[in-house]
């Protein structure tokens, strides 16, 4: 198989490396020519996957024609807010009816599009076959061959079968779920909850608060998902509950780390200025809050995360509001 991976950050590099180790012919597209050359020459991606020796067969390139020519499958690992622009720039290099596996997790600001919609619009006319890869999976642990379980959201049985077999290894167990909307929203909304949990832990609210946030966060994502046609049980799976547990408790999570810094007294600007990786939850908080308002769905945790991030609200005041909402059944 010839696989093109677009996006040379932590996740794109880890997935490209994993597929190359499996024996696939993998080309990693990195937009910066100097960075591509450095990855190929040193066999490392020192900026995004430090300390990990890459499979020698993995080729990093900055020329999209070279990467996409004759590809059997394109893996997308570009930050969600850049996905549309990137696809529109590169669409001329895609083969017809491309198989696309999107590994990015977020909702587009302004349009509320999930990545499936961004791909369908960006590659309109090429009839892409789409799957979304989601679930609890820190890039560094996948690169280190630690046991990991993920889920592919896909409605096309042939594509699902193809992608499930492509990504499965002795260390990576891949499930399939035909509820693409649910799988996409689970991966996107958990980033907001990871920020919330980081804020709570940064302030020192304690472990009860974190467990409450994870559980009510699950309820919040299910409510939004149901309004958008997702199945509630999808959120009990790897993309919802699984990724909530990982990123609300695991300090490798960039979104959780944003929350920890803000709970510890830093501003959003200071926090983001000190980060080299994308924390998708920041923009997804804005997008999902607006979407909730548009649909008339109550998203209380998202609302408070938004207030803390963007209006400078004191986290203690945000928790006070969450705790003192009208009493209700679970």
Ligand X SMILES: O=C(CO)COP(=O)(O)O
Ligand Y SMILES: NC(=O)C1=CN([C@@H]2O[C@H](COP(=O)(O)OP(=O)(O)OC[C@H]3O[C@@H](n4cnc5c(N)ncnc54)[C@H](O)[C@@H]3O)[C@@H](O)[C@H]2O)C=CC1
Binding-site residues from annotation for sn-glycerol 3-phosphate: 105, 135, 137, 190, 243, 253-255
Angle between helices 254-263 and 300-311 (to 10 degrees): 60
Taking CB under 6 A as the rule, does residue 10 contact ligand Y? yes
Residues facing residue 152 across a β-bridge? 133, 176
Query: Does 294 participate in catalysis according to the annotation?
Result: no
Task: Pick the catalytic residue from 190, 266, 294, 313.
Answer: 190
| Buried-exposed string 165-183: b where 16+ CB fall within 10 A, e elsewhere | ebbeeeebbbbbbebbbbb
Instruction: Give yes or no for a contact between 213 and 301, defined as CB atoms under 8 angstroms apart.
Output: yes
Q: Is 82 in the site for ligand Y (CB under 6 A)?
A: yes
Residue closer to ligand X by CB (options 48, 130) is 48
**Which tokens hold the place of 234?**
């999808």
Answer yes or no whether residue 247 interacts with ligand Y by CB under 6 A: no
List residues forming the annotated binding site for NAD(+).
Answer: 7-12, 139, 254
Segment 24-63, which members bind ligand Y (CB under 6 A)?
A: 31, 48
Q: In the 8-state DSSP scheme, what is residue 157? A: H
Burial 124-138 (b: 16+ CB within 10 A, else e): eebebbbbbbbbbbb
Which residues sit at the interface with ligand X, rule CB under 6 A?
A: 105, 136-138, 191, 194, 243, 246-247, 253-255, 280
Q: Does 155 bind ligand Y (CB under 6 A)?
A: no
What phi, psi does 63 have (nearest 5°)?
-90, 110
Residue 285, contacted partner among ligand X, ligand Y, none, CB below 5-8 A by kind: none
Binding-site residue set for NADPH? 10-11, 31, 48, 105, 139, 254, 278, 280
Question: Which spans of this chain sit near ligand Y (rule: CB under 6 A)?
Answer: 7-12, 31, 48, 77-80, 82, 85-86, 103-106, 137-139, 277-278, 280
User: What residues are annotated to the active site?
Assistant: 190
């Amino acid at each position: 198989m010839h696989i093109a991976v677009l996006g040379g950050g932590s996740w794109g590099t880890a997935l490209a490396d994993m597929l190359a180790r499996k024996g696939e012919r993998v080309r990693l597209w990195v937009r910066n020519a100097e960075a591509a050359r450095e990855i190929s020459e040193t066999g490392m991606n020192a900026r995004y996957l430090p300390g990990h020796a890459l499979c020698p067969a993995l080729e990093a390139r900055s020329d999209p024609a070279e990467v996409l020519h004759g590809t059997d499958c394109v893996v997308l690992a570009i930050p969600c807010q850049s996905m549309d622009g990137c696809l529109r720039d590169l669409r001329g290099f895609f083969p017809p009816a491309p198989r696309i596996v999107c590994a990015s997790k977020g909702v587009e600001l302004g349009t509320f599009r999930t990545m499936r919609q961004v791909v369908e619009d960006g590659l309109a006319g090429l009839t892409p076959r789409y799957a979304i890869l989601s679930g609890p999976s820190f890039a560094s642990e996948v690169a280190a061959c630690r046991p990991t379980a993920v889920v592919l959201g896909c409605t096309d049985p042939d594509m699902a079968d193809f992608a499930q077999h492509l990504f499965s290894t002795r260390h990576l167990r891949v499930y399939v779920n035909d509820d693409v909307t649910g799988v996409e929203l689970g991966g996107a909304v958990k980033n907001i909850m990871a920020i919330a949990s980081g804020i709570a832990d940064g302030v020192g609210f304690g472990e009860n608060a974190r467990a409450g946030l994870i559980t009510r966060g699950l309820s919040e994502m299910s409510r939004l998902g149901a309004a958008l046609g997702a199945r509630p049980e999808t959120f009990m799976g790897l993309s919802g509950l699984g990724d909530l547990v990982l990123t609300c408790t695991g300090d490798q999570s960039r979104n959780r780390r944003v929350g920890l810094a803000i709970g510890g007294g830093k501003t959003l600007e200071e926090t983001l200025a000190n980060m080299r990786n994308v924390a998708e939850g920041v923009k997804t908080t804005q997008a999902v809050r607006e979407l909730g308002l548009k649909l008339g769905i109550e998203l209380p945790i998202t609302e408070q995360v938004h207030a803390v991030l963007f209006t400078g609200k004191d986290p203690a005041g945000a928790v006070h509001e969450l705790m003192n909402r009208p009493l209700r059944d679970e």
